Structures are given as C-alpha cells and as structure tokens.
Structure 1
Amino acid sequence: MPINKPQSVAGIVIPDSTIAKQATALLLEHGTEFLYNHSLRTFIFASLGGMQKKVKYDPELLYVSAVFHDLGLTPHYSSQDLRFEVDGANAARDFLKSHGLSQQVLQLVWDAIALHTSPGIAEHKESEVALLNYGVALDVVGRDYSTLTEKEREDILQQFPRSDFKKTIIPTFFDGFKHKTHTTFGNMNADICAYMIPNFHRLNFCDAILQSPWSE
C-alpha cells in the first residue's frame, strides 16, 4: 500500500507515540489506502480546527479517534447488527483498554467515534469529540472549507490525496453496512442506502409510532 507518513503537515505534528503507531498499523492492516488518506486528512483538519477555535485537546486521543473512526466499515471490525460507527468505537475502546488507559479516556474516544456522524450533538461534547466531527465534515462535505488557506489545502492533499473521493466515498460507506441496512434507521447512512439501492424502503419513525402495539 503506497502511503505517506510525514512527521507534520500544514503545521500539524502527527503523533508518533507507541499507541499512535500501533493504531496506524491496524488501519493499514485492515483498511485501505483510501481510508488511510481520509483518516489522516480528518486528523489534520480536526487539529487545524482546534487551533483556529483555540480549544485544548489531546492530539494522541484525537489521532486514535481519527484512525479508528471508519474502521467499523472494514470486514475485520464490522458486526452483523451494530452501526458501523459503534463497531469502530468498540474497536478503539478495546485497543486503548489493552494499553491500560482510564475508563474516562476509553469513553471519550468511544464517544468521538460513535458520534462522528451526529451533527447537532458531537459539537456540544468534549473537544476531541467535537473536533473529530469537524474534521470528518470538512473532508466529506467541505464544511468550513473556506477556513483553509490554499497552501494548507495543497500541503494536505500532496501528502494524503483525495483519489476521486466524491465518487469513491459513497460506495465505500455502503460496502461497510450493505449487509445490515437496518442499522441506518434514524441516521444519515440511510441516505447512502437510498442512493445505492434502487427502490430502497427506509424505515419510518412515524410508521413505527402508528404501528406500535399500543391500542391508542
């Protein structure tokens, strides 16, 4: 897998602790070059957001969160019945637990990954949770694109190219949960299923209310 491992990009130092290196190794082992570049861009964007917003955050925990945030899409970590975000969060929690980190740290990283597709919630939690959501949104849908300088964009994409990202990310998402489309009920991943599956029938919250077993 031809990948870049720079020490810093756009003024952001990439963590190289034992935990960071082992997390990266898992991403390279079980993920793809495409997911690696997306995850590293996410970390850089999240870190730049932290600098711009002048918030304190733990770079190592943010990095691990970014590295694991889409690993729930991969066959190695994907479950049969959980949202892919939860699969990634569980994997990160198990990984960090093996390093003897505190329950508070485990929960923080778990929340960051599990909530990274939950705008309206993530930004109101701890810095690492909010910043991961920020970095993901900037890379996937270009939120706050204008906050980046042209030089920052060039530096980041030179190291971690997008590789036809717009055409690739949707099927990449779908491949990660096409075997459990029921897990997309009530979240944005249902949009992926509707795009990829002709005549996809979304579960509807109003139907669930009206068809409940209660008599009234």
Structure 2
Amino acid sequence: MDFSLDLPAGPLVEAVLSTVRTSETPSVVNHSVRSFFFAQLLAAHEGCLEDAAYDRDRLFAATVLHDLGAGDLATGEARFEVEGADLAANLLRRHKVPEADVDRVWEAIALHTSPGIAERRGLLCYLTHEGVGIDFGRNAEVVSRWEKQIHAAYPRLAMVRSLVDAIVERAARSDAAAPRYSIGGELLRERRADGVTSLESAAATSPWGE
C-alpha cells in the first residue's frame, strides 16, 4: 500500500494537536501520533479502509487523544481512560462533531486499555486499541515495513517510562482514579511495591524498546 506521514487537515485536527502538545509530554504526544499511523496500517492490512465504519478523522481523534487523561488537563478524579475520554468528548463537541461520533470516540478512548472488550465494540474501538498496542510492540510485524519512517518522524523519547510516570502520578490523586484491576491502579501499586512496573519491564523485550 502507499503510505504517507501526512495527517488529516482542518480546524479539529489543529485543535487536537494543539491540545495534546500543550498538555502532554513530547514522548506521549509522539506515542499517540504513532498509534494513529499504526492503526491506519492495521486497517489497510486487514482490508478495512473501504469499510463503511472506517473514518480516518475519527480514528485520528481517538488515537491522538487517547492519553489525554494522563496529561495536564486531567485532575485525577477518575481513571485516566475515562477522564481522557471526557476531555476528548468536550473538545469534539466544541467543534460541532455529531453526538453519535463523539460517543464513538469516547468509547474508543475509554476502552483502549480493555483487551477482550475493545475488540468487540466496533471498528473504531478495535483499531484504537490495536494501534496503541502496536506502539507497545504487539503485532509489530504488521507495520515493520514502515516503522523506521514513523519512528524517525516521531521518536520514542523513553515513552513507556514517561507514560507510566504520568498515569501513576494521576492515579495517586484519588481512590477513584486507581480502582483495583484498572491499569492505573495496578501500575500505581506496582510502582509503590517494586519501584518499577510490569509495563516498564515488558519494554525491555519489545521490538521498539521503551
């Protein structure tokens, strides 16, 4: 397939990029944009680009905003996926995105850390979850032809450690932000108990590193 590092265009895209660049660390911003490219490549690999449910603009919003709850706009009053989904929905509503699409993006962000659920909630949820997963090294072979180009444009910058730091910091702010068995809650408990999390340890064996 033809591949390009071009992003969608328009006021909403500009607002999405401005929001993440001013509220997240550069490593998390790059992770989010890479997740968009990886999700697109997965969609192409699986023949989904012509699917009626495929929407590149909504995929961009869901993937690039998926860690908004780990940024400076989040208050730590709910688990980071839900808080990020709420923040993303508010941004989309300000740009007059139809409510049905707002709901789809909200769900994709809220479920992006929920394997076994995200895959069953439609194409946007599936691609968002899997695009994020590829950036952690899962199913890396799908994007191996283009990953060097993507990583050169959007380097990792110790992403795993940076993202875990942000999630843990917000999870520590309230019990509601760290419920048992949520990823935020478990990362917080691992960091307090061992000083390092399973997600950081797994990065050592990822094809991309951290």
Class of the TM-score when normalised by the shorter of the 2 chains: 0.7 to 0.9
Task: Find the counterpart in structure 1 of residue 27 from structure 2.
Answer: 34
Give the letter aligned to residue 117 of structure 2. I
Q: Which has the larger radius of gyration?
A: 1
Given that 2:5 and 2:150 are in contact with CA atoms closer than 8 Å, whether structure 1 keeps it comes out as no
Render the CA deviation track for 1:19-41: whole Å, top value 9, x for unaligned. Answer: 11111011111112111101101
1:85 equivalent in alignment to 2:81: yes
Q: Choose from 120, 137, 149 the match for 1:155.
A: 149
Give the letter aligned to residue 173 of structure 1. I
Q: Choose from 40, 51, 68 the match for 1:47.
A: 40
TM-score by length of 1: 0.80
Task: Provide closer, same or farther for how the CA distance between residues 33 and 121 of structure 1 changes in structure 2, counting only shifts above 3 A.
Answer: same
Q: Choose from 121, 124, 133 the match for 2:120.
A: 124
Task: Find the counterpart in structure 2 of residue 211 from structure 1.
Answer: none
Task: Find the counterpart in structure 2 of residue 104 from structure 1.
Answer: 100
Give the letter aligned to residue 74 of structure 1. G
Render the CA deviation track for 1:106-149: whole Å, top value 9, x for unaligned. Answer: 11000010000001011112211110000111112x11012222
Task: Find the counterpart in structure 2 of residue 135 from structure 1.
Answer: 131
Shift of 1:199: 7.6
- Kindly report the root-mean-square deviation, in angstroms, between the aligned alpha carbons of the 2 structures: 2.0
Give the letter aligned to residue 106 of structure 1. V
Shift of 1:67: 1.9
Single out whichever of 60-69 and 163-172 deviates more from structure 2: 163-172
> Whole-Å Cα distance in 2 between the matches of residues 179 and 19 of structure 1?
31
> Whole-Å Cα distance in 2 between the matches of residues 122 and 161 of structure 1?
27
Give the letter aligned to residue 102 of structure 2. L
Aligned residues: 189
* Percent of residue pairs identical: 26
Task: Provide closer, same or farther for how the CA distance between residues 169 and 26 of structure 1 changes in structure 2, counting only shifts above 3 A.
Answer: closer
1:170 equivalent in alignment to 2:164: yes
1:18 equivalent in alignment to 2:26: no
> What are structure 1's unaligned runs of at least 5 residues?
1-8, 201-216
Q: Choose from 171, 185, 210 the match for 1:190.
A: 185
Given that 2:28 and 2:162 are in contact with CA atoms closer than 8 Å, whether structure 1 keeps it comes out as no
> Whole-Å Cα distance in 1 between the matches of residues 69 and 161 of structure 2?
20
Render the CA deviation track for 1:143-164: whole Å, top value 9, x for unaligned. Answer: 1012222x41110110011112
> Whole-Å Cα distance in 1 between the matches of residues 194 and 179 of structure 2?
16
TM-score by length of 2: 0.82
Shift of 1:61: 0.8
1:70 equivalent in alignment to 2:44: no
Render the CA deviation track for 1:42-87: whole Å, top value 9, x for unaligned. Answer: 111111111111113111111111121111112322342x111111
Given that 1:72 and 1:88 are in contact with CA atoms closer than 8 Å, whether structure 2 keeps it comes out as yes
Given that 1:12 and 1:48 are in contact with CA atoms closer than 8 Å, whether structure 2 keeps it comes out as no
Given that 1:78 and 1:84 are in contact with CA atoms closer than 8 Å, whether structure 2 keeps it comes out as no
Shift of 1:92: 1.1
